[in-house]
Amino acid sequence: MPDAFSVLPEIEKALRSYVQGLQAGTNLREAISYSLLSGGKRLRPVLAWHACVAAGGDPDNVLPVCVALELVHCFSLVHDDLPAMDDDDLRRGIPTLHKHAGEAMAILAGDAMMTLAFEPLTGPAFRGHADLSVRLVRELVLATTGMIDGQVYDTIPNTVPGATPIERVKTIHTHKTGALIRAACVMGGLSAEISRGGPLAPDEVNSLGNYGSAIGLMFQIVDDLIDVEQPAALAGKRTGKDAQAGKLTYPVAYGSADRCREEVAGLLSQATASVSRFGASGTALRELASFLATRVR
């Protein structure tokens, strides 16, 4: 793991503290806690943190964004795992929420995490920065809607008609995983405004967005490669499942794993170039891109 992940304890602390302060019924809180505090890479919060640093921000100001991103990510995992969707029993090495707490609770806890994500973005941390709150809320709506669109394309037949396999798989994943990863980078960067005392220049935001789009696509290609190549015990979830379900994956669309690796190399270059403007402050983002290109799970 690269140094960029040394911020994980801070992020875990923010998530735990969020769950402790959560105003909700006991059962709902337990279900949210089960999903939100069961580990995971925390990739989106880590990206937001380092995008904030790249843009010259104080990472204390990005923590509400980190919590919001992980709430939305966990909501999407819980709903995607449901029997009517991907029907998964195992997630991060433990039973999925609907296996643990029942299907009704999994639907409701997912719903709750999604709506709750908008709370930290409009909370006391942004007092005096209402314009920034509004911008963050809008970025999160856009990303979440894109993510849901991607799940529609992925789950429901014939929702990307007339596309080639490569176009189809890219359409699915620029939405399904790409939108929130891109938003993590943009929202992280935007939160630098608080310590900088003024908003980012539009081309700074674009650079972070382009970086996010490139690594988002790369992330999913690598994920598909892991699904083909890794045993379940190492990946922490059921693997080989995409092929069994007849799902279109990058190795299938590109025809070979080698062709996927070439695509990954190209996206890594794009990502690295996008954040070169940030110089030394962008080091962690560049490290993260390299890590994501070569990760084994």
Instruction: Return residues touching its own copies (CB under 8 A).
Output: 23-28, 75, 79, 82, 84-85, 102-105, 107-108, 110-112, 114-116, 118-119, 121-123, 126, 130-131, 133-134, 137-138, 140-141, 144-145, 148-149, 151-153, 155-156, 159
Nearer to its own copies among residue 120 and residue 251 (C-beta): 120
Nearer to its own copies among residue 21 and residue 231 (C-beta): 21
Cβ 55 to its own copies, closest distance in Å? 21
Residues 6+ apart with CB under 8 A from 64: 120, 121, 123, 125, 126, 191
**201-216 as b/e: b if 16+ CB within 10 A:** eeebbebbbbbbbbbb
Nearer to its own copies among residue 30 and residue 229 (C-beta): 30
Cβ 60 to its own copies, closest distance in Å? 20
- Nearest-angstrom CA–CA distance, 75 and 69: 10
Closest CA to 226 of 236, 217, 214: 236
Cβ 27 to its own copies, closest distance in Å? 5
The upper half-sphere exposure of residue 178, i.e. CA atoms within 13 Å in the direction of its Cβ, equals 20
Cβ 273 to its own copies, closest distance in Å? 29
Is residue 1 classed exposed, middle or buried when 0-12, 13-18 and 19+ CB atoms within 10 A define those classes? Answer: exposed
Nearer to its own copies among residue 63 and residue 116 (C-beta): 116
Cβ 197 to its own copies, closest distance in Å? 17
DSSP letter (8 states) at residue 238: -
